[in-house]
Amino acid sequence: MKVGFFGGTFDPVHNGHVNMVEDAIRFGGLDKLLVVPAGRTVHKPAERVSSAGMRYMMCHLAFSPCSHVEVSRIEVLREHGSYTIDTLRELKAALTGKDQLYMVCGADILFDILHWRSPEAILREIRILASLRPGHDRSGMEIRARELSDRYGAEITFFEARQTDVSSTAVREAVERSLPISGLVPPAVRRFIRMAGLYGPEDPLESLDPDHQDRLRTAERVLLSFMEPERLSHSLLTMTSAARLAADHGQDVFAAALAGLVHDCAKHLPARDAVRHIDPEDRATLAEPKLYHGPAGAALAPGWFGIRDPLVLDAVRYHATGRADMTWLDLVLYLADKSEPSRTFQGSDAVFEMARKDLAGAFLYSCNGLREHLATLGKPMHPDTIAAIESLERSQPY
């Protein structure tokens, strides 16, 4: 089997990346292609790069419609930065003896590759599948390929790729200037960029100091080790929504972002495991397994993420129900979870816009819809939610 490796920062992934992948499979004869977004970038230390989770998620959305393509988490799971040779060797070790690994790249890389880490090893150990786009000097590329072959034993094959005049830098600049990007990135990626507020001038996460940024990325890496893409997308969007609400109300953006990111960390646990973290006296929660992940997440977060802040842990614990005398973070997380941009609940957009001005009012408005929904199911409202409503109603000015 011929397996391709296509790595990059993908900040963001764009139509040029998608075209190259499709053309490598079609014209390069690959049976399978692994798209590998970088984790911690070692070659762009001074440049602001979106988190690995955000870039992985955009790659997942971009390449899900493509046959024979998988998006690998091999690099985003690494704690420290890695080089291409490390990833290629790890991927090659996982293949069978009959498989062949090809590094997919633009042909112009043939002139830069000797400046990479361990270029001789890459050229000696891995076959290269290089794209030729309209405008490339094919004869010059072929001369360079022969030089690398003669000197290092490199096996280089060319394939024709479509011309796409787009770059990640151009996409980021377009978003920053509020210009359309519909022709530059796949539709699903465009929607995700908009929902997450990436590359825009009003991203509250951009204001965080490097230590807080690093703590968020460490927590994100833990989630990437087990969380499936749909849940990861929701967690990332809840993080950005919570951060935006905290900024709107002059509260701790980092605490809100952290709570939003990890709030569903226990959602994947079987009920028989999650129930161990429920108070035996809490009959209402015990009767509803869909609520187990809140208390379970709060119990597991200190060990999984090193979170000790009771404000964050309590917000995670009660994010699905609320509670009496809710803190600002309880309200922010509850509302961000219910109204992040990918939610399809009726009125979710209105809840978020209301929350930007009035957290308590938005919570009460949201609970009116919840009460109606539960009534159609013949289910009672959770006692903690009732207590939250009563305490907030008592505190509302008349």
Please state, rounded to an integer, the average pLDDT across all residues of the chain: 94
For domain 206-395, give the CATH number: 1.10.3210.10
CATH 1.10.3210.10 intervals, the chain: 206-395
Is the separation of the CB atoms in 148 and 47 below 8 Å?
no
- Name the class of domain 2-169: alpha beta
Report phi then psi at 385, rounded to 5.
Answer: -70, -40
In the chain, which segments carry CATH 3.40.50.620? 2-169
pLDDT of residue 397: 64
Cα angle at 84 between 152 and 217, to 5 degrees?
170
Model confidence over 283-329: pLDDT tens digits? Answer: 999 999 999 999 999 999 999 999 999 999 999 999 999 999 999 99
- How far lies 200's CA from each of 34, 197, 227, 232, 354, in Å? 30, 6, 27, 21, 22
Please tell me the pTM assigned to this model: 0.94
Q: How far is CA 109 from CA 85, 105, 116, 126, in A?
A: 15, 7, 10, 14
What pLDDT, in 10s, does the model give residues 118-167?
999 999 999 999 999 877 788 999 999 999 999 999 999 999 888 888 99
Segments in the chain below pLDDT 50: 46
Q: What is the pLDDT of residue 40?
A: 75
Report the candidate in 120, 114, 199, 200 with the shortest Cα–Cα distance to residue 152.
120
- pLDDT, residue 48, reads 75
